[in-house]
Amino acid sequence: MTEPFSAVEVIVRKRDRGELSDAEIDWVIDAYTRGVVADEQMSALAMAILLNGMDRREIVRWTDAMIASGERMDFSGLSRPTADKHSTGGVGDKITLPLAPLVAACGVAVPQLSGRGLGHTGGTLDKLESIPGWRASVSNQEMFAQLESVGCVVCAAGDELAPADKKLYALRDVTGTVEAIPLIASSIMSKKIAEGTGSLVLDVKVGTGAFMKNIEQARELAETMVALGTDAGVHTVALLTDMSTPLGHTAGHAIEVEESVEVLAGGGPADVVELTLALAREMLAGAGVTGVDPADKLADGSAMDKWKDMIRAQDGDPDADLPVARESHDVLAPSSGVLTRLDALAVGTAAWRLGAGRSRKEDPVQAAAGVRWHVRPGDSVTEGQPLMTLLTDEAERFDRALAVLDGAYNIAADASFEAGPIVLDRVGA
């Protein structure tokens, strides 16, 4: 009888479309972290929240309770301002890899705590782990030192940072409760606020390959998160960006690192470069840094230098050969014309089925698995040319990957097709 509430009471209130009180929210998050509220109770509550929603006050309190479940970091002692970026997850979304060293090269420190793959979207840590020697785990002291010396760090969140979120995130992944705006917003913002960044740019993905399938949902999520960040004193801006087509030419781990290095070398796919620069400019503005054009830092090699320093600081070898898949299979163009559609969800799911993703959180990923597409919407194709190359260490995975790619693209014989913009909208405080 020492608990002030019962889990069932709290679940039933939300199930019956009631509002949870501040005290109930504080209790349920704390009790879940302590194991008093069981996983099966929290998943029922998560489903009730997904279907019945939470109002703004409830979301703010839920976020605060998750922050309060662990430690808060503080980078105000650094000699540079801090800025971070978070993407809601997309296919081929390797943007963090070139972006963090690029922004560091412009004089802003980037303390990026990242996650692993969830569903069909790739995880930044999984990608970086394809680099021989690189480690995701960094102590708080090391993180501070690396931000001072290199200027950027991409690493796993420690166990002490929003532990309630860590537990809930893993639970949502296996209980069909990922796609709830209040839970997505509070999960992202609790980690980012606890992380202690001074400013934050959110890349909210919209389209088939994103959790938000339409721009209205994405805008609601963006507005919710910007409000949470602003209330907590973090300068927060969101870009709504297209995720109907996968980013760049690769979805996987090692192959996305390769593509990121191309961008840092001053080349790379135009869409990846465009989005990287747009996010870098927002991060610099948020950190109050003016008069620096990040495009120059890609051109002059200083972003690449930061990349190498960052990888080495975490025991990785930036010049080592990356793992190569043992098996590959080409998908050929069935006709000639112009590619008018390449579906992000299908490509992401194919990469997942080839071994780049996880079914359960304890599963390993294949570093070399994934999909490389040779053309993007707007490109001309000739019958019989390779459209995509599927990569895996296990040839028996091709069939199920090919099945999901059936109908995933269109080729028009005579099309005046124009690809849409990447950045669809911007949400400020």
Residues with catalytic function: 86, 165, 172, 187, 191
Closer by beta carbon to a second copy, 128 or else 168: 168
Piece of 2-10, 230-238, 310-318, 415-423 that binds a second copy (CB under 8 A): 2-10
43 or 276: CB nearest a second copy? 43
C-alpha–C-alpha distance, residues 389 and 29, integer Å: 45
Tokens of 378: 């707007």
Task: For residue 67, state whether it binds a second copy (rule: CB under 8 A).
Answer: no
Among 18, 176, 267, 334, binds a second copy (CB under 8 A): 176
Please answer whether residues 186 and 61 qualify as being in contact, where contact means their C-beta atoms are separated by less than 8 angstroms: no
- Kindly identify the residues of this chain, within the stretch 153-172, that bind a second copy according to CB under 8 A: 171
For a second copy, which residue of 23, 174, 332, 403 counts as binding (CB under 8 A)? 174
How big is the site for a second copy, counted in residues (CB under 8 A)? 32
Q: Given CA atoms 53, 57, 63, 69 in this order, what sign does their dihedral have?
A: negative
Toward a second copy, which CB reaches closer, 118 or 194? 118
Cα distances (angstroms) measured from residue 29 to each of 25, 39, 55, 61, 383: 6, 12, 17, 10, 56
Specify burial of residue 15 (Cβ count, 10 A radius: 0-12, 13-18, 19+). Answer: middle
Half-sphere exposure of 7 (CA within 13 A, CB side): 18
Dihedral pair phi/psi, residue 140, rounded to 5°: -60, -40
Of the candidates 120, 94, 412, 404, the residue with the CA atom closest to the CA atom of residue 249: 94
At 271, the amino acid letter reads D
- Residue placing its CB nearer to a second copy in the complex, 76 or 359: 359
Which string of x and - marks every residue 369-408 that binds a second copy (by CB under 8 A)? -------------------------x-xx--x--------
Tally Cβ neighbours within 10 Å of residue 428: 11
Q: Which of 1, 233, 290, 413 binds a second copy (CB under 8 A)?
A: 1
Site string for a second copy, 22-61 (x = CB under 8 A): ----------------xxxxxxxxxxx-xxx---------
Q: Point out which residues bind a second copy (CB under 8 A).
A: 1, 6-8, 11-12, 15, 38-48, 50-52, 119, 171, 174-177, 359, 394, 396-397, 400
